[in-house]
Each structure stands twice: as structure tokens, then as C-alpha cells.
Structure 1
Amino acid sequence: MGRSKLAKFAAVAERDNVVQEGDELYGHMAGKWNELQFANENPIVLEVGCGRGEYTIGMARLHPEKNFIGTDIKGARIWKGSTMAIEEELDNVAFLRTYIEGIEEHFEENEIDEVWITFPDPRPKDRDIKKRLTSPGFLDKYSRILKPGGIIHLKTDNLGLYEYTLEVLQGKKVNNLLFTADLYNSDLQEHTMGIYTTYEKRYLAEGVPIKYLQFKVS
């Protein structure tokens, strides 16, 4: 492992806006994020697979009246997002370093108001279907930590993942489903707040339409 990554891991371990294994509060935050991390009762928005936290940070800039948590397993990526939050003095941002499979260990039922899934690995191989972040198993996990009527968003460049997710939702009880295979030629743009990730800009430059969907859990 390079010195740069080691330095980033060391920095992340000392930050108040990151919760990860080895911290005293890791595994003990369920139901307590508002109290212990944010010291307010504002709604919580969760981004799963947040990468470098570009979307988490972008939303936090626009909505100081909400709290935002980005979660990912890659420490070097979280370092970037947590650094941006510190530099911009965004007290409504936190990061959780963990595997998404164990997300229910870190949040209580009905604790989250919204979930964002932004440009996840599409896992195109059939053997990896259960690892797709919009598979039935993952959607069930999100639904349990979301408040009734909580919203789930998906933003992706991958047509296969987008179509797969729509198929999955046919077997789910969901409300107010909105979707488009070409976000920037639709009337749904306002739902994504004008935030573009680095990957998204690259896809758009290559002429790849961005797909988007959202729905409310029952």
C-alpha cells in the first residue's frame, strides 16, 4: 500500500465527521445519528456507495436544513469527501466507512428520510445479481431503515441496471414511481438538484444518457 493511502487512512481515523471500525461509536450509532453526530433533529439523507462523496457534499451545500451521510468501504475515497466537508465547514455531513451489506447494523428502523444510489457498480454478470445495490435484498434493507414514505433515488449511466431495477420494482409495493432513461431531456431534472459527479460529466461528454428513477417506500 502506498504512503499516500496510508496517510489518508490515518487522517480519516482522526476525523469527527467519519465513523469507521475501530471507533468507539462504530456499531453503536443506530438511532443516534441526530443526537451524537449532528446535534439536531433534522432529516437524514443517506448516500450508499458514495465514493468520493461528491453527491453527499453537493446535497449538503444546497440543503443546510438536512443532514447527509455518505457510506462506502474505501477509506481513501471517504478521505476526499470528509476533507471537502471540513474545508467548507459543512457540519451537516458525515461519512460511514462500512460494507453496504451491513447497513442495518448502523441505522435504526425509520431513521432515514431518503436514500440515494448514485452511479453504482452495475454488476452486469448474472452471478453478481445479489450484489447490485438495487437488488431485492438491498432494497429491503433500505426500506427497513427508511421512514414510511421515504424516498429512494437511483442515478446511473448503465441501461442494464436501470432496466433491471424497474423489473425488480414491479414485484415491490412502491408508490409514486418516477423514471426516465434520459434525465437531461426529461422534466425530472429538478429532482437531482443539478449535481454532477466526475463520472457523470465523463458519461455526458461521451454522449451517454443518464438514467434516473425514484420511488417512495410503503
Structure 2
Amino acid sequence: MGRNKLARFRQNEENDNVIQEGKEIFEKILGNWNEVQFKNDNPVVVELACGRGEFTVGLARQIQDQNFVGVDIKGSRIWKGSTMAIAEGLENVAFLRTQIEKLDRFFEKDEISELWITFPDPFPRDGDEKRRLTSPRFLEMYKPLLRKGGMIHFKTDNSGLFDYTLELFQQRDDIKIHLHTHDFYSSEWKDVHYGIQTRYESIFSAKGERIKYLKAEFI
């Protein structure tokens, strides 16, 4: 393991906005995000597979009266967003280092106000469907965690994953799709995300890839 990665891991252990195994808060955070971490009653917004946290931190800059949690298993990635938020004095940002399959061990029923799924691994093979973050397996986990009216936002450059997700959502009678587009930056909604892009989104957009987006909720 490289020195830089080890240094980042050590920094994560010190950063109060990183919740990970080995810290006392890791075992106490379930149902207590507002009380223990953020110390306010603002809505909690979660980004899954947040990577380096550019989108999580970007939203926190723009929306001060909401709390934002980026979830990822890669500590060296989370380090970037964590240190960025601390440097900017953003207290409405935190990062949870865990596998997304374990999300319901850290959030209680109705604790999440909005859910962002941004540029996840598409897992294109049919045999890997259950690993997709928009598959039925994951949707059943998200459903009780999202409060009534809580939105699911999904962005990807991958047409196969987007079409799979759109079709799946359309088939379910417990999901209402509010909007969807196969070309986000040519749509009427292109400014609703404040121009914030993840690292991967910037790369894909620069290559001319069209970004797909949908917004939905459980009903």
C-alpha cells in the first residue's frame, strides 16, 4: 500500500466528518444522524457510491439547510471530500465508509429525505443484475429508509443501465417517475443541479457522452 493511501487512512481516522469502523460513532449512528453527527434537525440527503465526494460537497455548499452524507467503501476516495469539506468549514457534510449493501444498518426508517445515485458501476452482465444499485434488491432496502415524498435521483452515462432502470421503475406500481431524460444537459432541467459534476461525469461529458437522469419517488 502506498504512503499517500496510508496517510489518507490516518487522516480519515482523525476527521470528525468520516464515520467508519473503529470509531465509536460507527456503532451509534443508526437513527441518530441529526442528533449525533449534525446536531440539527435538517433533512438528511444521501449520495450512494459518492467516490471522491465532489457532488456531496457541492450540494452542501449550495444548500446550507440540509445535511449531506456521501457513502462509499473506498477510504482513499472519501478522504478527498472529507478534507475538502473541512477546509471550507462545511459542517453539513459527512461521509460513511461502508458497503452500500449495509445501508440499512446505518439509517432507520424514514431517516433519509432524498437519495442520489450518481454514476454507479453499471454491472452490464445479466448475471450481475443484483449488484446494480437500482436493482429490485436495492430498491427494497431504500424504500423504508426514504421518508414519504423523498426523491430518488439517478444519473449515469450508461445507456444500458439507464434503460434498465427506467423500465424497472415504469413496471413497479410503488414508484412514480417525475421526470426522465436521455440528454440531461440539453433538457429543461440542466440547471437544477447547480452545475455540480462528479469527476466521472466531467470525463464522460468531455468525451461527448450524453448524461441520463431520472427523478422518482416511492408511493
TM-score normalised per structure 1: 0.97
Q: Report the equivalent of 2:154.
A: 154
Alignment of 1:35-54 (within 5 A): 35-54=35-54
Q: What is the alpha-carbon distance in structure 2 between the residues aligned to residue 90 and residue 108 of structure 1? A: 24
Stretches of structure 2 that go unaligned for 5 or more consecutive residues are none
CA contact (8 A) 2:43 2:112 kept: yes
Per the alignment, in what secondary structure is the counterpart of residue 209 of structure 2? Answer: coil
Q: What is the alpha-carbon distance in structure 1 between the residues aligned to residue 189 and residue 136 of structure 2? A: 25
2:209 maps to 1:208: yes
Q: Report the equivalent of 2:16.
A: 16
Q: What is the alpha-carbon distance in structure 2 between the residues aligned to residue 191 and residue 175 of structure 1? A: 19
AA of the residue aligned to 2:202:
K
Alpha-carbon distance, 1:171 to partner = 2.9
Alignment of 1:34-113 (within 5 A): 34-113=34-113
Provide Cα deviations, 1:28-75, integer angstroms capped at 9, x if missing partner.
211100000001000110001000001000000000110000010000
Per the alignment, in what secondary structure is the counterpart of residue 94 of structure 2? Answer: strand
Report percent identity of matched pairs: 55
CA contact (8 A) 1:27 1:105 kept: no
AA of the residue aligned to 2:89:
E
Q: Report the equivalent of 1:144.
A: 144
Runs of 4+ residues deviating >3 angstroms: none
2:137 maps to 1:175: no
Q: What is the alpha-carbon distance in structure 2 between the residues aligned to residue 27 and residue 150 of structure 1? A: 26
Q: Report the equivalent of 2:118.
A: 118
Q: What is the alpha-carbon distance in structure 1 between the residues aligned to residue 191 and residue 208 of structure 2? A: 21
Alpha-carbon distance, 1:26 to partner = 1.1
The 3 A distance-change label for structure 1 pair 125 and 27 is farther
Q: What is the alpha-carbon distance in structure 2 between the residues aligned to residue 54 and residue 163 of structure 1? A: 26
Per the alignment, in what secondary structure is the counterpart of residue 51 of structure 2? Answer: coil
Alpha-carbon distance, 1:192 to partner = 2.4
Q: What is the alpha-carbon distance in structure 2 between the residues aligned to residue 190 and residue 201 of structure 1? A: 15
Per the alignment, in what secondary structure is the counterpart of residue 36 of structure 1? Answer: helix
Q: Which moved more, 1:121-130 or 1:45-54?
A: 121-130
Provide Cα deviations, 1:182-218, integer angstroms capped at 9, x if missing partner.
0011112233232112221221111110000010112
Alpha-carbon distance, 1:135 to partner = 0.5
CA contact (8 A) 1:117 1:155 kept: yes
Per the alignment, in what secondary structure is the counterpart of residue 124 of structure 1? Answer: coil
